[in-house]
Structure 1
């Protein structure tokens, strides 16, 4: 044993590098060189672990095993090597601390060697994981067997790093949620500084000296209406804490905030950096992190990415969103954490992140025309309430109003979920007409459940100056139109040619008129407010001549979107203008639109590709000889 220790140390008493330990060779280090002799000979990277990790641990005693079992019966977001401490009493949950959010936003524990200090009992979510692994939820069938065995074999629990979250509230009888530890990095990838960090450095160099102003602008404009991050953590300007945040999270945060640059009083007079170049750097940082160390920071970075404006790639957003949802299921975000014995701040953060995923998934499904990834029966997370907010805006007078708007958006998304599952059902479609009206009845019941300012925002379209209110209003009108259109398509099967239009058709036209008026009455302040990028597709049903109340109404919408674009840089109308702008303009110049050729009428309708186009597209995508040309 003394000889093996001597071989593990260099001549100057420093620990040997990791490659020499794996090779079991002597580590000879020369002054002035960055690598040892053997690493230079083998052309490998010479990395050294900290001294604290090289100290041998004493063999565990039965008492220490029991203490380890208690300390690991906590949240799946805690590292396996956290300091041993007893669980807090359920009656007095620990208060959140600034340092408790570091591990949640840290992508690579080996990226920045910063000493977080001793663990505190009040740290609900440590952000500096000491291991190179992630928690992964265990299936219900295996979880019950594991729970039975661990009641008798505590050493099994301490040996493989699994941990259980037990319900602790009175009257809770649900089964425990079991997590295990899985490898985070791909096998064979060396632990090195984060490759995404240089991308972040480039972005920060482009934003100098306005980095902090851009962060503050994000929390004032976006996070207050769509809470993804905790603002209290970012108020700490300490470099020691901020340097441990995932580079992908910070890069996507900077890119996400650029859309509000011209609406900020201080930044509007400064030159705005190239947004497309910054978005490309942020996307590279995100994909690098997804490959090397996927975790909770990756989900947050994806939410910032898919929620960014302008929308340039629908397929890319769909890929990232599906990846985030899959990762969220692995981390157990789809389970209700209210009864878990974890700090309140961690419960609230899990609820917020999950519902941000649900909102993006449901509305992208409605606007893109693809089935949703999340089904209603696969999660039990409650709708976020005002008390679940973790953005540190307790002293903000508008925080309560913004919280109610986000709560209404989440509850509207939940109602939309049942409609989408019925809309995209291919097998066993309901034939009963009563089943076809479920979505409309649910939307009406949701409207009746509202009260106060939110009800006036939805029904009357007033008080839209509240941050997020205009976005909520347009989302409601879009959901109302698509629900009515679904009912209309079902009833059109029984209407013969020459019969008068049904009430559903008149109702759909009236909703389209409301969408046009809502967009036309937006003020400059409301245009610079928070908007989901998916509302850009809500204007398309009101744009086509076949779907609007009249051709003049469609012409007014085109003029309004162009005016918003020129005056306020509101890019959410670009998709509508690109698809229908030229068609509406040329139709409005014709003296008799009925004399138009058949080609013009076809171009005015929504684009539906013919089978030949689909065959050629599928052939191109599966032809390896054309893959290089398609990039």
Structure 2
């Protein structure tokens, strides 16, 4: 089996001036030497095929018109594209005249290399220490794109070609890897078959490329783009600028310069649903642009209709832009689509987004872009699973994507040094925020897998009266991970790190943290039985849950306008609601009237906070409505006995059997100190059951309780009256 050679080859060759009229293709011409330009897309060439062929000094007429590489395999009379399209391969047309630059008196800088398309290769700058350690790359690729021949750049890509789309070939498909290895691959690592074109990205992973014109609704993109432009005209460029200012830094699923080059090009090859999705999100901040605020806002409903129709068409020829468009459309507060999330996961697997692409023979910018899109898709699936209460579609056994590195986040928005220091700081903050959200999502996914799968639910049911103890044993490791995650949170994404009058999206990260903790405690509280549980264990678990609820509500109280008006990640609407749901659960399960009254009062305060904040964040109206819905359900709750009545029946209801020393009075804490305490899982345990500050499962009280239950006699817990 012939194995591809992993030696990079250039994306362009230096040729002598072309001969004007060539009657036929003479294969006896000696091969021209290759001149290695500094390029961004090395490709693997099959040994003995393309590297040792003979070819003309210039492309054929058809390839010249297409501005495509003219490749002639050894022994062939037609070039690859002409053979594929079954057309004549001629060399009779004169080349089009080139545009010459007006000469200037400025001296040409020395050692300035020619740039055909991708610019110069430069040494990679050392990333800031707060970003993290850069990962080593298997080969050097340029980090900065300075000038773009956008048509050529997209042709070299795997997932963003303008006229082709690719689908990953799995190991059990009819395309056996051994048979694929017998194919002859050209310099682009492609092999043309009757069904399509094989494109090999390394020794193990292969895609099959299809022409877009084989799919339904092909050719309508230009009309759809015009319809989109008519809705937003003449404000399209201003909306794109708004999108990159507000959304892109903390949700970097686009390659900024690649998109802008496509957006500004005369052919305007931007994906219609992607463009519509960017416009729709940017319209949320219409009033934040002084030039747009006094003008009438474009019709969002029309844009959403166009985006929905064009996305369905794009799914027939899936590309990276298809997943990008779907992810953006799902960031709308009102877009709560489990089915679309499921479709995007399937498309992502067709595009190979679940694989490790770091060693693929694709441009470096596409490696970083694929990893960012893949992790955004991972988060979309996991958080959708949580807020809908449905099984995730991404499993760790089939997820090979490597963590994002600073190199993957290099955004070639402008030539090096052109961005201001403030813009660079915001971009770095957004990158850290994105990576922290990914790591938090992984912990949340572990909680979902540990406590909310059907197997886990059955395990807890089989444990019977010991279900709470089993849940606590499984909860302790993940609670430690949460504590470590919070303690290592960089200062730049802390809640109190806000510049006045500058939007900050850090709110959605901290809200996701509280939603993750609530999801864990919700499972514990749900397992408690006030009639059969050990009173000491009942007290500890409910005290920890109360602390989580109070910390989450205090977090919402501390949100500033800079937080509320910024970009909020899609599950935020539900995450705000989950705080209220958790409060309602504690109210409903409170053993005594006094405790129930405490939660009723806090929920009333929480509703007021949300209703006031909704003036700056419309999506909070949903959380207010859900709170009202929960309150209406709680009207059916039976009256609870008071503490005095309970103490008359039993002396050990919800109170530790062993007296514990009361905690010293706390001084007033700042917001930062409250947040730091919220991340701590082991503050002291007090005896006051209504104002407990206990937080977490690794406390001295629980450790002692578990030690006593392990070593002591096996006695049944006391009943709760």
TM-score w.r.t. the length of structure 2 is 0.59
- Structure 1 position 135 matched with structure 2 position 135: no
- Show the counterpart of 1:375: 395
- Whether contact under 8 Å (2:381, 2:394) holds in the other structure is yes
Residue 327 of structure 2 is aligned to residue 311 of structure 1: no
Distance in 1, Cα, partners of 2:544 & 2:183: 60
SS at match of 2:250: coil
In structure 1, distance between residues paired with 2:526 and 2:633: 29
In 2, Cα distance between equivalents of 1:453 and 1:498:
36
Pairing partner for 2:239 from 202, 208, 214:
214
* Deviation per residue, 1:477-533 (Å, 9 max, x gap): 000110122233345599449887342222222212222222222111111111012
Look up the match of 2:292: 267
The answer to which of 358-367 and 496-505 deviates more is 496-505
1:146 paired with 2:189, answer: no
| Distance of 2:200 and 2:78 partners within structure 1 | 15
Q: Which residue of 1 aligns with 2:425?
A: 397
SS of the equivalent of 1:180 reads: strand
> Against the structure 1 CA distance between its residues 203 and 98, is the aligned structure 2 distance closer, same or farther, given a 3 Å change threshold?
farther
Provide the residue aligned with 1:547 in structure 2. 586
Structure-2 change in CA distance of 1:241 and 1:176 (3 Å): farther
Conserved? CA contact 2:229–2:236, under 8 Å: yes
Structure 2 gaps, min length 5: 1-61, 82-115, 122-136, 414-418, 464-468, 588-597, 641-721
Higher normalized helix content (fraction of residues)? 1
CA separation in 1, counterparts of 2:379 and 2:362? 25
Deviation at 1:357, TM superposition (A): 0.5
Give the Cα separation in 2 of the matches to 1:101 and 1:547: 60
Q: Which residue matches 1:462?
A: 496
Relative to structure 1, the CA distance from residue 120 to residue 202 in structure 2 (aligned partners, 3 Å threshold; closer, same or farther) is closer
Is 1:342 aligned to residue 390 of structure 2?
Answer: no
| Compared CA separation, residues 67 and 398, structure 1 to 2 (3 A) | same
Instruction: Note the 1:2-81 alignment, pairs <5 A.
Output: 60-62=73-75
Would the alpha carbon gap of residues 577 and 479 (structure 1) be closer, same or farther in structure 2, given more than 3 Å must change? Answer: same
Q: Count residues in correspondence.
A: 490
Q: Which is further off, 541-550 or 248-257? A: 541-550
Partner residue of 2:516 out of 454, 479, 501 = 479
- Distance change in 2, residues 1:185/1:447 (3 Å): farther
Cα distance in 2 between the residues matched to 1:551 and 1:411: 34
Aligned pair in 2 of structure 1 residues 410, 440: CA closer, same or farther (>3 Å)? Answer: farther
Q: Is the 8 A contact 1:358 1:374 kept in 2?
A: yes
Whole-angstrom distance in 2 between the partners of 1:50 and 1:344: 26
How far apart are residue 338 of structure 1 and its match? 1.5
Deviation of 1:424 after TM superposition, in Å, equals 3.8
Matched, 1:192 2:222: no
SS in 1 for 2:513: helix
Q: Residue 512 in 1 paired to residue 559 in 2?
A: no
Q: CA deviation at 1:576?
A: 1.9
Show the counterpart of 1:204.
229
Q: Once structures 1 and 2 are overlaid, which stretch shifts more, 282-291 or 470-479?
A: 282-291
SS in structure 2 at match of 1:158: strand
- CA shift, 1:539, in A, is 2.3
Q: Is structure 2 residue 481 aligned with structure 1 residue 445?
A: yes
Q: Note the C-alpha offset of 1:259.
A: 1.5
- How many angstroms apart in 1 are the aligned matches of 2:261 and 2:181? 44
TM-score by structure 1 length? Answer: 0.67
- Give the match for residue 556 of structure 1: 605
Cα distance between partner residues in 2 of 1:416 and 1:257: 29
CA distance in 2, matches of 1:454, 1:495: 44
Structure 1 residue runs without a partner (length 5+)? 1-48, 69-82, 103-115, 167-174, 596-631
Q: In terms of Rg, which structure is larger?
A: 2
- Cα distance in 2 for residues equivalent to 1:239 and 1:421: 45
Once superposed, what is the RMSD of the aligned Cα atoms?
4.3
Residue deviations 1:428-447, cap 9 Å, x none? 75468667644552342254
